[in-house]
Amino acid sequence: MKMIVAVIQDQDSNRLSKALVEADVRATKLASTGGFLKAGNTTFLIGIEDERIDEVLKLIKDNCQSRKKMMTPLSSMGNADSYVHYPVEVQVGGATVFILPVDRFEHF
Ligand code: 2BA
């Protein structure tokens, strides 16, 4: 068994949840925040048998899309009164996925 940890965009969260339920894949959704954009995203924890990993990865891939987001980092031009905002475009991935070994699984 493996634990799939997938960080996805909030906009894709309901679609992915629905696809996982339809495929009879159990998952837990956590509200999370991206360290860079400091915007909300969603983290799925999916405990799954090894032989179903590719199926779950395909569901994630098919239901999560990459998008461009604008962010405005604060830059100082020399002194404290002259902060300027430079909007920059950031490509946020469809999903960032980690696959971890599970030593033991119990369900009571
Ligand atoms: P954020 O940290 O908010 O990052 C959003 C997007 O900003 C990233 O998209 C990437 O395109 C860009 N970005 C992140 N850090 C950057 C940096 N230091 N310099 C320039 N651009 C940067 P993704 O790579 O698709 O990541 C989407 C979200 O997945 C991230 O949101 C974060 O919550 C999570 N994530 C990505 N890589 C991770 C990792 N190695 N460990 C844990 N979480 C990760």
- The predicted model gives 6-19 an average pLDDT of 98
% of the chain residues with pLDDT over 90: 81
Extract the runs of DSSP E, i.e. beta strands, from the chain.
2-9, 28-33, 40-48, 67-71, 74-76, 83-85, 88-92, 95-101
Q: Is the CB of 90 under 6 A from ligand 1?
A: yes
Minimum CA distance residue for ligand 1 atom 32: 34
| Residue matched to tokens 């395909």 | 58
Most ligand 1 atoms within 8 A of CB, residue of 32, 96, 98, 100 to mutate: 96
pLDDT single digits (tens) 17-48: 999 999 999 999 999 999 999 999 999 999 99
Check whether 80 has a pLDDT greater than 80: no
For ligand 1, whether the C-beta of 73 sits within 6 Å is no
Its pTM surpasses 0.95: no
For ligand 1, what atom is nearest to the CA of residue 41?
Answer: 33
Classify residue 35 by its DSSP letter.
Answer: T
Q: How do the domains of the chain map onto residue ranges?
A: 2-74+85-101
CATH 3.40.50.970 fits 2-74+85-101, yes or no: no
d(CA 68, CA 74): 19
Determine the pLDDT at residue 86: 79
Confidence band for 72, pLDDT divided at 50, 70 and 90? confident
Cα dihedral 14→17→19→23 (10° resolution): -170
For residue 71, the CA-to-ligand 1 centroid distance in Å is: 13
- Summarised one tens digit per residue, pLDDT across range 95-104 is 999 999 999 9
